[in-house]
Structure 1
Amino acid sequence: MAALPAWGLLAGKTAAITGGTTGIGRAIVLAYISQGCNVAVNHLGLPKDESHRHSLLEEVKTIERKGINTGKILELSGDVTSPQTSEDLIKAAISHWGKLDIFVANAGVFKQAEFLKIQPSLLDHSVDVNIKGTFYSCQAAARQMVKQGHGGSIIGISSVSALLGGGLQTHYTPTKAAVLSMMQSMAISLGKDQIRCNALMPGTIATQLADHDMKNPTKKAALEARIPLGRIGDPNDMAGPAVFLACQEMSRYVNATGVLADGGMFSNLQ
């Protein structure tokens, strides 16, 4: 279910997003399309994920049937750890719609692991996807936006984990801190080109990455008790902030910052 009415806040815009068939990425894709934005969606293209791809396309059709001025969707498979994947995604968006206004670096991985048991393969994969994948994809988007010469918005999906430690997240929290830092440095580098770069920082959201906690009643209850709003976040809770950061009219002076959307969890220290 869309989190925002179809107000046309992104009408005529073109966006691209990595990891867009599930979780937070999927919610952002649907929100953007509902607001009139054309969206090029990256996904891994794994056979086990085909149901997610098909259901996303069906959900877009359902939105279109409501008669509102929705955007269009195209989807492309590829692994963001390869720079070519993001280059191909941007090229596909340009081929279909002639420009790129918004880019969301959303693809990410997380698997809980005890610090003393983390193997090099897990650490390498976390860094490759969460840091390198974000860097390569944002670089490809920025190159296109600079070439166009009319600015744009780049959003990196970080996390409250960029600001907080986690005993089972020693391989993960540094990568999300890196995304926040990357957006800050990109904003400085690209400000002269009128390209705004910000991080969206979700709290605990009920996605595939949080399945381990969601299936543990004790852990889930402890998390909910720490969140002032009293509930775990839903992917659609990220749709509004993502539209806000993408919309030039709403956030034209918001740059080089991290937008926390965690239900108040970070501030609840007692």
Structure 2
Amino acid sequence: MSLLLDKVVAITGSSRGIGRATALECAKHGATGLILHYFVPEDEVNTLKTEIEANYPSAKVITIHGDIADPATSTKIVQTGVEGFGRIDVLVSNAGICPFAEFLTMPHATWERTRQVNLDGSFYVVQAVANQMKNQSPQGGSIIGISSISALVGGELQCHYTPTKAGILSLMQSCAVALGKYNIRANAVLPGTIATDINKEDLADEKKRDYMVQRTALGRLGAPDDIAGPVVFLASDLAKYVTGASLLVDGGLFVNLQ
């Protein structure tokens, strides 16, 4: 089933992890336009572009480099995407960082940079794309913010990270209210522990990794494509009456208290 047939999808932080898996899943489900933002070295996004175009010939890919913490990057994403495809149907606001740090000795620069990338960057790109989607009314669109289970629980080395993810959840809830009149839906996906580059060093501790695996009801860590499927659902017309929702995708980690 092609859930995103002929859709144009913009994804921030697309070159690796959840963003990369989401780009591939969107192409698999028929997206014909992919606007792929990246910040890491260009070779990673280029291999993604090559993989998509080789496996999904109907999908056209545009790549855009920039620091999502800079509002100009979001403007560039919209301008370049509209120049290439004429519209944007779906935004996946995914770009984020999590430099694990001890709270009492954390440099203020770590807090600032984490907030700027995760929360400020999400605000900038959501606002920019929402204005484009408003101009497309009554077609509207779907906005998905990648939050985290960390929006709901604490973490000793994440006192700077968890507030940004709670902020993204709140941003999606308020945007659902603010943008519904333009037929724009806004929802949040809350991944649990997903094995990506963002937590590779933390999960290198075998004791902690085993503990996290045991905590999940499904008995395994998540993979990036475990998040991509729920994102495609929220982007598609199957979710046409879903807005302001938060979808926890954690393998049963949150509910497994005992």
TM value normalised by structure 2: 0.97
Which runs of no fewer than 5 residues in structure 2 stay unpaired?
none
- Aligned mate of 1:213, from 195, 202, 210: 202
Deviations 1:123-164 (A, max 9, x none): 000110111000000000000000111111000000000001
Q: Is the 8 A contact 2:36 2:62 kept in 1?
A: yes
Distance (Å, rounded) in 2 between the aligned partners of 1:61 and 1:188: 37
Q: CA deviation at 1:15?
A: 1.0
The size of the alignment, in residue pairs, is 256
- Identity across the alignment (%): 44
Q: CA deviation at 1:60?
A: 1.1
- Aligned mate of 1:41, from 36, 41, 44: 36
Superposition map of 1:114-125 within 5 A: 114-125=102-113
1:162 alignment partner AA = A
Distance (Å, rounded) in 1 between the aligned partners of 2:8 and 2:255: 35
2:232 alignment partner AA = V
Q: Is the 8 A contact 2:91 2:143 kept in 1?
A: yes
Instruction: Indicate the residue corresponding to 2:188 in structure 1.
Output: 199
Q: CA deviation at 1:195?
A: 0.5
Q: Is the 8 A contact 2:9 2:35 kept in 1?
A: yes
Deviations 1:40-79 (A, max 9, x none): 01111x4xx23312321221133136xxxx4221101011
Q: Does 1:127 align with 2:115?
A: yes
Q: Which moved more, 1:87-96 or 1:168-177?
A: 87-96
2:51 alignment partner AA = E
Q: Is the 8 A contact 2:15 2:45 kept in 1?
A: yes
Report the secondary structure of 2:92's partner residue.
strand
Q: Does 1:257 align with 2:249?
A: no
Distance (Å, rounded) in 2 between the aligned partners of 1:57 and 1:256: 31
2:136 alignment partner AA = Q
Q: CA deviation at 1:258?
A: 0.8
Distance (Å, rounded) in 1 between the aligned partners of 2:251 and 2:234: 18
Distance (Å, rounded) in 2 between the aligned partners of 1:191 and 1:178: 20
Distance (Å, rounded) in 1 between the aligned partners of 2:249 and 2:24: 18
Distance (Å, rounded) in 1 between the aligned partners of 2:144 and 2:2: 20
Q: Does 1:266 align with 2:254?
A: yes
Q: CA deviation at 1:210?
A: 1.1
Instruction: Indicate the residue corresponding to 2:133 in structure 1.
Output: 145
TM value normalised by structure 1: 0.92
Instruction: Indicate the residue corresponding to 1:25 in structure 2.
Output: 19
Q: Is the 8 A contact 2:11 2:35 kept in 1?
A: yes
- Aligned mate of 2:79, from 88, 91, 97: 91
CA RMSD of aligned residues (A): 1.1
2:73 alignment partner AA = T
2:46 alignment partner AA = H
Superposition map of 1:73-88 within 5 A: 73-88=61-76
Report the secondary structure of 1:267's partner residue.
coil
Q: Does 1:224 align with 2:232?
A: no
Instruction: Indicate the residue corresponding to 1:4 in structure 2.
Output: none
Q: CA deviation at 1:257?
A: 1.2
1:232 alignment partner AA = L
